[in-house]
Amino acid sequence: MTKKLSIIVPCYFEEETIPLFYQAVEKIKPQLTDIELEYWFINDGSTDGTLTAMKKLNQKDPVHVHYASFSRNFGKEAALYCGLKNATGDYVTVMDADLQDPPDMLPEMFKYLAQGYDCVGTRRTTRSGEPPIRSFFAKLFYKLINKISDTKMVDGARDFRLMTRQMVDAVLEMSEYNRFSKGIFSWVGFNTKYLKYPNRERAAGQTSWSFWKLFTYSIDGIINFSQFPLDLATFAGFISAFLSGIAIIFIIVRYIIHGGDPTTGWTSTICVILFISGIQLMFLGIIGKYIGKIFTEVKKRPIYIIKEKK
Ligand code: UDP
Ligand code: MG
């Protein structure tokens, strides 16, 4: 019996890569036996010819190629969610438009699903073509998040994965506004097999992720999947309360023995005040981050807005 595979492709300024992507997938299609394809290209508010490229493919292959175009840039996570919502396939895969997620891995991925896995993910074994400083921070991020979060995240794992309908439905149940897919895919559980492959460079166009964007993204990941920063605040509070308790006893004892001289100790007092207030401000900021997340979450704004869909 023929099953349907939905391919979700978030696109942001990908006019050059969309046709290449479609060709590359169509090329491996004969290797996917009894599988019918459904494409969902999501235009994440690109202002170049991205939407036109999607429309062209839709005209060429209206049965299989669908697209949705956002009213503005909502981010890759929103585009992924939109794709997952619209996909009707028995299996769903999410792939970047730039062919950094090799379509020729799909046949092998299906083999693992047949063996009983619910999901087959991919991870890069190399980070060639990436600035070393970026790789360094990426490694650091994975080390940190895996220490402080119960949700395990695999270093080098891409968003590129093949999932069963059951897992997709589980992911869709997580309708949170602050979406961090790497965490969400891991949080829902299920048996995931990771296939390794060496990094591939973009087919065309440019990455839209600046260092700053990646940095804030990783902070989001931490805030969304860990409460460790709050525990740290509590811990720091206890330590400083304990130390100041000792200091108070010390001062009282010294006063009793030597008598008091209120004018000395100005420098050390100022140092202590600055240190403690700095720490307080820092933790206020961290708490503020969580409150900000709660705020965006309770507002229940839509995750994306579609302007056009076919
Ligand atoms: N993308 C998106 N919205 C954005 C940024 C990126 O839909 O705001 C898409 C982009 O078109 C691509 C995928 O997300 O298909 C991955 O982006 P990119 O290749 O720029 O990131 P990298 O591979 O360098 O991590
Ligand atoms: Mg890319």
Whole-number Å distance, alpha carbon 158 to ligand 1 midpoint, is: 12
The phi and psi torsions of 201 (rounded to 5 degrees) equal: -90, 160
In the reported structure, the alpha carbon of residue 208 is separated from the centroid of ligand 1 by a whole-number distance in angstroms of 6
- Residue pLDDT, tens place only, 128-183: 777 888 888 888 899 999 999 988 888 888 899 999 999 999 999 999 999 998 89
pLDDT, residue 138, reads 86
Q: What is the pTM of this model?
A: 0.86
Q: Return the pLDDT at 207.
A: 80
Ligand 1 pocket: which residues have CB below 6 Å?
Answer: 10-12, 14, 44, 73, 75-76, 79, 96-98, 100, 207-209
* Position with higher pLDDT, 8 vs 260: 8
CA–CA gap between residue 253 and residue 133 (Å, rounded):
53
Q: Can you tell me which atom of ligand 1 is nearest the CA of 206?
A: 20
Predicted confidence at residue 87, as pLDDT, reads 96
- Specify the residue with its C-alpha closest to ligand 1, atom 23: 207
pLDDT higher than 80, residue 237: yes
pLDDT of residue 23: 93
pLDDT confidence of residue 68: 96
Residue 70 forms beta bridges with which residues?
A: 306
Residue nearest to atom 21 of ligand 1 (CA): 207
Kindly report the average pLDDT of the chain as a whole number: 90
Distance CA 137, CA 141 (A): 6
Phi/psi at 158 (nearest 5 deg)?
-95, 170
Burial level of 89, CB count in 10 A (0-12/13-18/19+)?
A: buried
> pLDDT class for 201, splitting at 50, 70, 90?
confident
Report the candidate in 185, 113, 127 with the shortest Cα–Cα distance to residue 153.
Answer: 185
209 Cβ contact list (under 8 Å, min separation 6): 217
Q: What digits encode the pLDDT tens for the residues 46-94?
A: 999 999 999 999 999 999 999 999 999 999 999 999 999 999 999 999 9
148 contacts 222 by C-beta, under 8 angstroms: yes
